[in-house]
Amino acid sequence: MTTALAVDLGSASGRVLAGTLREDGRIDVTDVHRFKHQAQRHHGSLIWDVDTMWDEVVVGLRKAVEQFPDAVSVSVDTWGVDCVPLDAHDERVGEVRAYRDERTQRTLDEFRSRISDREFFALTGIEPATINTANQLVALTIEEPELAERIDTFLYLPDYFAWKLSGVKGWSRSIASTSGLCEPGSPRFSNEVFSRLGLNRDWVGELSDDLTVVGQCTVEGLEMLTVVRGGAHDSACAVHGLPIDEGVRAYFLSCGSWSVLGALEDHPLVSDAAFELGLTNESRTDGGVRPLFNITGMWILQEIQRQWEREGTPTDTDELVAQARECPPSPAYFNPDDPYFAEPGQMQQKIDEAMDKQGAPRPTTKPEYVRLIIESFAQRYARAIDELTAITGVKPDQLNLVGGGARNHLLCDLTAQASGVRVVAGPIEASTLGSLLAQLETLGHLDPRDRPSVIAKTAKTHAHSPASN
């Protein structure tokens, strides 16, 4: 048996997990340590407390090696785009800003004067957005030039923690692909983008492939661990852990409060249609490309439940969904991507108004509202599959649905029915499984060809066929 450790850092919480590869080809996953954190306001800026995050990571890893003395490796994955500037003495330069810090909005016009949105997409394959690392660094040079002058290098968040563990600096391809600083498909950093934006190309080295070794851990008590690039971006890890049989054409849908729909491609998609759709081309752990775009997720359902609870009616999601399954199909749908639904509050009234505009009857019970919401999601996902297929040119054989939405079997059933595509729900924690698989493959404990078999034995999945609805 061999155990690998996964450090999975989200924007509101972090966790350390252990995965033990058994002789029967199954990975047993153990949740070792969890902690909460959040972006904080500091002198008017939105920042991350990376010191607390680091302390909690070390606490979790020490717990893990005590519980699993056979642990051989560790990999860190995080959300995309955010980075840590360092000076020539490896000290942090200023605070570590969060991607929603308002400085990128204040400097957006100047950014666009250097590279237009359409040209930015052509140069990088990334959707123009203020959260991109490129926008963050331009904002830093404009608003805090004295800090920018002190920068010797910057590391993306997972690479920063890998450096803290090993003493080895690097720039992992999967996380760098979120930044807007690489050529389409992220074969390398884009010298032209750095130059056009007025950024110092010497701030970064060359990209490192995922599925490679960073170095040996140098933290006291953790020296037995090899630090691995097991997919530095959480979404890349999730795709690596998907149950997809050889020869099957699959799209993936990561469904939480917000959703991401994507395809698995060998090359980036950078056509005019891809730009209009808001496509962004991020790298996979195995070196391929994940063209994807954002669509609305379970936020609307979560928000109407919060409204009902504020009004004095406790809600149970599983019970509501079960009751919604017994309701007749809704007579009409609403568009979940309408910006009207992105604002919190009074979600039931917003849905009522959307139905009134269509001349359709309003729901009269809570299960009917839930049915309408889930059917509207399913219809939107079906349209999104068609939109992506118009660009890729090949309709998928199946849709791998991961995240919290995978628990909602009514959503999976209705999505399969609306799209005509088989839906495979799960694993819910695909990013953790993907990280563990990548580490075991990198260190030679698992043949990559055996990955589908290990996923099948490990992951809890459920198939939803269009014909069964």
pLDDT digits (tens, 9 = 90+) for 175-201: 999 999 999 999 999 999 999 999 999
Q: How confident is the model at residue 404 (pLDDT cuts 50, 70, 90)?
A: confident
Mention every residue, 6+ apart, whose C-beta is less than 8 A from residue 146. Answer: none
Tokens 């990975």 sit on residue:
27
Q: Mutual orientation of helices 299-310 and 347-358 as an angle, nearest 10°? A: 120
DSSP 8-state secondary structure symbol assigned to residue 24: T
Mean pLDDT of 298-325: 94
Alpha helices in 31-98 (DSSP H): 50-67
Choosing from 82, 101, 234, 413, the catalytic residue is 234
Q: Which helix (H) or strand (E) holds 421?
A: none
Amino acid at 334: F
pTM of the full structure: 0.92
2-234 with 244-426: one CATH topology? yes
- Fold held by 244-426: Nucleotidyltransferase; domain 5 (3.30.420)
Q: How far apart are the first and last CA of the chain?
A: 42
Beta bridge partners of 27: 21
Closest CA to 231 of 242, 217, 244, 247: 242
SS percent in the chain: helix, strand, coil, step 5: 40, 25, 35
pLDDT digits (tens, 9 = 90+) for 80-132: 999 999 999 999 999 999 998 999 999 999 999 999 999 999 999 999 999 99
pLDDT digits (tens, 9 = 90+) for 200-245: 999 999 999 999 999 999 999 999 999 999 999 999 999 999 999 8
Q: Can you read off the two tokens belonging to residue 349?
A: 């009234």
234 is catalytic: yes
DSSP class per residue in 313-373: ----HHHHHHHHHTSPPPS----TTSGGGGS-S-HHHHHHHHHHHHTPPPP-SHHHHHHHH
Q: Does the pLDDT at position 289 exceed 60?
A: yes
Closest CA to 17 of 434, 450, 455: 434
Q: Which tops the pLDDT comparison, 84 or 294? A: 84
Q: In the sheet where 96-97 sits, what is the strand order? A: 40-42, 45-48, 96-97
Percentage above 70 pLDDT, the chain: 100
Taking the C-alpha atoms of residue 375 and residue 377, their distance in angstroms, rounded to an integer, is 5
Q: Does the pLDDT at position 448 exceed 60?
A: yes
Average pLDDT, the chain: 95
Q: Which CATH architecture has domain 2-234?
A: 2-Layer Sandwich (3.30)
Q: How confident is the model at residue 468 (pLDDT cuts 50, 70, 90)?
A: low
Q: Does the pLDDT at position 304 exceed 80?
A: yes
Q: 362, 352 in Cβ contact below 8 A?
A: yes
Taking the C-alpha atoms of residue 262 and residue 253, their distance in angstroms, rounded to an integer, is 7
Q: Can you read off the two tokens belonging to residue 77?
A: 């994955």
Q: Does the pLDDT at position 149 exceed 70?
A: yes
Mean pLDDT of 397-422: 95
Other C-beta atoms closer than 10 Å to the C-beta of 66 total 11
Q: Which tops the pLDDT comparison, 244 or 343? A: 244
Q: How confident is the model at residue 5 (pLDDT cuts 50, 70, 90)?
A: very high
Amino acid at 207: L
| Domain definitions of the chain by residue range | 2-234, 244-426
pLDDT digits (tens, 9 = 90+) for 369-394: 999 999 999 999 999 999 999 999 99
